[in-house]
């Protein structure tokens, strides 16, 4: 990053280099060597950092497969939890519960998030947009347990009991700022030329937003939504005092519902080996779920780059 190294003298024989030239050549050779060493060292350091960055995931996966794979069977997906001491049993209720919670969160979070993002992009400079943008960034950084407390305060306490809806709302509140910001970004990168082309055809502004801008940005928004879903799928804290968990089969949204992260937590802190095994298996299933969603997000992203041209 310092002086130019361009003029390294080629060790030309005739005429004989003068004293000064030789000294210069020595200095330059020294510098080149130093740079080469620094270069190699930095490459190694950064490479190690890159490996360390992914190490936790590799370690976790390896550990989960080792501990959880044995408990993973068809029963795990189809059977209810068994009492302590009985062999077998599964987490069917928790798997279904997690899917229901994600469903509720999506039903609330996607329309609100996409709508808010579209607003932010279309009315970029309005005072409301500026405020909403700032607040959603704050919301994005809010600890998830706070979301749980909020949902408990407004949806559990007044009703008097835990419910899947309260859990879904807490998850939606986490999801909304993420979806809002990705939607805004994706809508913003739609070329102005497309907007103008639609307006020039006689499209009203709202119609331009929906049929041209939003449609062009759809693949990117889907990617953002999937990433947000992957993030909330494994959340435990917002569910602790909202969805609460349930040892029994329940698909009713106004009652406590089981969820994979909660079940993993409960089993992991229990003293029983069978439950520990189930917790490992549950964690493995959760990570596979998140992995699949991320994979889908990747495909959606690719579709976007295929679709946008340029």
Tokens of 120: 């932010």
Cβ 78 to another protein shortest distance, Å: 41
Tokens of 3: 């002086």
Give the torsion sign (CA, 176, 184, 186, 115): positive
Binding mask of the shown chain, residues 269 to 308, with x at each position contacting another protein by CB under 8 A: --------------------------------------xx
> 3-state DSSP call for residue 80?
coil
What ranges in 69-191 are assigned the alpha helix state H? 74-78, 92-122, 127-141, 144-151, 164-188
Pick 218 or 294: Cβ nearer another protein:
218
Cβ 205 to another protein shortest distance, Å: 8
Residue whose tokens read 């993030």: 231
The verdict on 198 binding another protein (CB under 8 A) reads yes
Task: Give the whole-angstrom CA distance, residue 292 versus residue 273.
Answer: 29
Stretch that binds another protein, among 33-41, 64-72, 181-189, 212-220 (CB under 8 A): 212-220
Binding mask of the shown chain, residues 155 to 194, with x at each position contacting another protein by CB under 8 A: ------------------------------------x-xx
Residue whose tokens read 């759809």: 218
- If binding means CB under 8 A, how many residues of this protein chain bind another protein? 21
Tokens of 188: 């913003």
Residues 112 to 151: which contact another protein by CB under 8 A? 125
Other CB atoms within 10 Å distance of the CB of residue 148: 26
The three-point CA angle 128-131-132 to 5° equals 85
Cβ 306 to another protein shortest distance, Å: 9
Pick 12 or 200: Cβ nearer another protein:
200
For another protein, the binding residue among 33, 34, 215, 252 (CB under 8 A) is 215
The verdict on 207 binding another protein (CB under 8 A) reads yes
Residue 242: closest CA among 109, 169, 152: 152
For another protein, the binding residue among 74, 202, 206, 271 (CB under 8 A) is 202
**Does a cis peptide bond (omega within 30 degrees of 0) precede residue 22?**
no
Cβ 295 to another protein shortest distance, Å: 23
Tokens of 49: 């950092």
Phi/psi at 257 (5° precision): -135, 150
For another protein, the binding residue among 218, 236, 270, 301 (CB under 8 A) is 218
The verdict on 196 binding another protein (CB under 8 A) reads yes
Name the site residues for another protein (rule: CB under 8 A).
125, 191, 193-194, 196-204, 207, 212, 215-216, 218, 307-309
């Amino acid at each position: 990053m310092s002086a130019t190294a361009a003029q390294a003298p080629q060790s030309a024989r005739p005429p004989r280099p003068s004293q000064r030239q030789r000294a210069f050549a020595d200095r330059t050779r020294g510098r080149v060597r130093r740079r080469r060493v620094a270069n190699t060292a930095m490459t190694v350091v950064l490479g190690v950092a890159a490996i360390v960055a992914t190490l936790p995931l590799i370690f976790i996966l390896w550990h989960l497969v080792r501990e959880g794979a044995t408990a993973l069977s068809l029963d795990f997906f189809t059977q209810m939890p068994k009492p302590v001491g009985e062999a077998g049993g599964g987490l069917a209720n928790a798997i279904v519960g997690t899917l229901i919670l994600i469903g509720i969160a999506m039903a609330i979070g996607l329309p609100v998030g996409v709508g808010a993002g579209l607003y932010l992009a279309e009315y970029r400079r309005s005072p409301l947009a500026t405020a909403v943008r700032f607040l959603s960034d704050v919301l994005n950084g809010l600890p998830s347990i706070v979301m749980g407390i909020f949902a408990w305060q407004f949806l559990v306490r007044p009703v008097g009991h835990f419910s899947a809806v309260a859990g879904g709302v807490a998850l939606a509140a986490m999801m909304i700022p993420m979806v809002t910001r990705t939607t805004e970004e994706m809508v913003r990168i739609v070329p102005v030329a497309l907007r103008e082309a639609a307006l020039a055809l006689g499209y009203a502004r709202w119609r331009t937003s929906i049929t041209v801008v939003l449609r062009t940005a759809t693949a990117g928004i889907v990617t953002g939504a999937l990433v947000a879903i992957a993030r909330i799928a494994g959340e435990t804290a917002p569910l602790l005092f909202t969805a609460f968990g349930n040892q029994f089969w329940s698909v009713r949204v106004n009652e406590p519902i089981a969820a994979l992260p909660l079940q993993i937590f409960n089993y992991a802190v229990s003293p029983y080996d069978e439950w520990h095994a189930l917790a490992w298996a549950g964690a493995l299933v959760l990570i596979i779920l998140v992995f699949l969603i991320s994979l889908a997000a990747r495909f959606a992203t690719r579709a976007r780059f295929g679709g946008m041209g340029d």
